Each structure stands twice: as C-alpha cells, then as structure tokens.
Structure 1
Amino acid sequence: MIRRFGAPPHKNQTYRARPGAYALLPHDGQLLLTCQLQPEPDLQLPGGGIDPGESPLPALHREVLEETGWKIAAPKRLGTFRRFVFMPEYDLWAEKICHIYTARPVMPLCDPLEPHHETVWLPLADAAAVLGNAGDRYFARVLAGLA
C-alpha cells in the first residue's frame, strides 16, 4: 500500500493517475529546490510527470533539468507516496503517485527551462519545514534524519 499525504479523495470526484518522479538534491547541507511561482509561489522538490512510454529515471533527469537547470547523477529510490489534488495548470483532478529519489546535483547547465520556476537552495532542515506539500516535507525529514 502506498502512503497517502494530504486531503483524502473527494467521494464523487474522478481522479486520473499521474505518476511522477521527484528528487531530493542535497549538497553541502543545503537542498536544491524549485519554486513554482504561479498560480502562487510553492516550494517543491524538483520533478514532475512521467510521460507515456517514459521510465522514471529519464523523467527524473528531464524534469530536474526543466525545473532547475541542473544536471544530476547517481539517483537512488527513497520511496513513494500519493496525494489527491486538483492541478489547475492542466484542469485535472489527479491522483499523483510520487516516486521520490535522492540524487547528486552535478552542475548547473542553464536557467530553469520551465516557465514560472526558479531555483532555490535552502538548508536541509529548513526545506523539511517549508516545502509545499506534506509528502515532500516527510521525505526531506527522512533525508535529514528527522523522521
């Protein structure tokens, strides 16, 4: 059974499964995050949807590059969680199945490619407290040894 974070699903709402790959990217006591600025600022683990026919690891590399501009290496799976949300940018009610990895940020290649995203570095313990969803916060706490 996959652990759920956040609100339970609405009883009369249909949700579409949306698998995604997300990364905890620690370096020198800091964590590389992305801030999605619209519709309102939200600190997130870099990552996103796995496209049809795509495997999780290529999706992880692609999404981290799109949202932070960074190249990563040595991803290792940490766990999975799910959450039920409305995604306004897609007009979609989704059951997000979030595959969480740790990886090493290697180097910045460019500015974030995804519109309305900016790269943020925070101390690991601070990130564990302020990430925008409970699942991301939980896995940051696990990485920091706080959970």
Structure 2
Amino acid sequence: MIRRFGDAPDPARRYIRRPGVYAILLREGQILVTHQADPVPEIQLPGGGIDKGEHPIPALHREVIEETGWRIAVQRRLWAFRRFTYMPEYDLWAEKLCTVYLARPVQRLGPPTEPGHTAMWLPAASAIAALGNPGDRAMLTRLLGGAP
C-alpha cells in the first residue's frame, strides 16, 4: 500500500489518477527546490506529471530541466506516496501518485524554462520547513534520517 499524505479523498468526488516523478537534489548540504508562483505560490521538489507514453526517468529529467534549469544524474528510486488535491491549472481533482528519486545535480543549463518557476538552493533543514506539501516534507525528512 502506498502511504497517503494530506487530505483524505472525498468519497463524493471523482479523482483522476496522475502519476508523477520528483527529485531530491542534494549538493553540499543544500537541496535544489523550485518555487512555483502560480496558481498558488509554493516551494516544491522539482518534478511533475508523466506524459502519456513517457517513461518515468525521461519524465524526471524533462521536469527537472523545465523547473530548475539543471541537468541531473538519477541515483535511485527512494519512495512513493499519494495525495488527493485539486489542480486548478488543469481544473481537475487528482489522485497524485508521486514517485521520489534521489538525484545529483550535474550541470546548470540556464534558468527554468517553465514559466512561473524559480530554482532555489536551500539548506536541508530550511528546505524541509519550506516545502509546501506534507508528502515532499516527509520524503526529505526520511532521506535525511528523521521519521516521516
């Protein structure tokens, strides 16, 4: 069973399953995160939805480049979690199936190419506190040796 973080699903609502991939990017005690300005300002682990027909690892590379401007080397799959949320940019209620990978930032290619995203380096403890959703916070906490 995949652990759920955040709100319980509303049994009266229909949710669309949205698989996604996300990266914890460590370098010298800091975490590379993305600040998404819209629809609600939030600091997140870089990543996002897997397009139809796309494999998870290429999707992770694409999403991280779009949201941070960094090329990465994927080291390993860590964990997965799910959360039920409204996605205003798509006007849908989603069951997000989030698979989190440990990766290493390799090369900065430039600024993020996805509008409304800004890459930020944060000290690990600050990143845990700043992340906008409980699943991201739990995954980073778990990786750094705390309880999720």
**Do these two structures clear the TM 0.5 threshold for a shared fold by scoring above it?**
yes
Q: Are residue 82 (structure 1) and residue 113 (structure 2) matched? A: no
Counterpart position of 1:98: 98
- In the alignment, the residues of structure 2 paired with residue 59 and residue 76 of structure 1 have an alpha-carbon distance, to the nearest angstrom, of 15
- Contact between 2:18 and 2:95, CA under 8 Å: does it hold in 1? yes
- In the alignment, the residues of structure 1 paired with residue 129 and residue 143 of structure 2 have an alpha-carbon distance, to the nearest angstrom, of 13
- Contact between 2:74 and 2:101, CA under 8 Å: does it hold in 1? no
Query: How far is the alpha carbon of 1:40 from its aligned partner?
Result: 2.5
- Contact between 1:125 and 1:144, CA under 8 Å: does it hold in 2? no
Counterpart position of 1:123: 123
Counterpart position of 1:144: 144
Structure 2 residues not aligned, in runs of 5+: none
SS of the aligned residue for 2:89 comes to: coil
Alignment of 1:23-38 (within 5 A): 23-38=23-38
- Contact between 2:47 and 2:63, CA under 8 Å: does it hold in 1? yes
Q: Which moved more, 1:38-47 or 1:63-72?
A: 38-47
Percent identity over the alignment is 60
- In the alignment, the residues of structure 1 paired with residue 72 and residue 103 of structure 2 have an alpha-carbon distance, to the nearest angstrom, of 6
SS of the aligned residue for 2:122 comes to: strand
- In the alignment, the residues of structure 1 paired with residue 36 and residue 20 of structure 2 have an alpha-carbon distance, to the nearest angstrom, of 16
- In the alignment, the residues of structure 2 paired with residue 74 and residue 96 of structure 1 have an alpha-carbon distance, to the nearest angstrom, of 21
Counterpart position of 1:66: 66
SS of the aligned residue for 1:59 comes to: helix
TM-score of the pair, normalised by structure 1 = 0.98
How many correspondences in the alignment? 147
- In the alignment, the residues of structure 2 paired with residue 40 and residue 20 of structure 1 have an alpha-carbon distance, to the nearest angstrom, of 19
SS of the aligned residue for 2:48 comes to: strand
Query: How far is the alpha carbon of 1:138 from its aligned partner?
Result: 0.4
Query: How far is the alpha carbon of 1:130 from its aligned partner?
Result: 1.8
SS of the aligned residue for 1:111 comes to: coil
CA-atom RMSD in angstroms: 0.8
- In the alignment, the residues of structure 2 paired with residue 123 and residue 144 of structure 1 have an alpha-carbon distance, to the nearest angstrom, of 12
Structure 1 residues not aligned, in runs of 5+: none
- Contact between 2:2 and 2:82, CA under 8 Å: does it hold in 1? yes
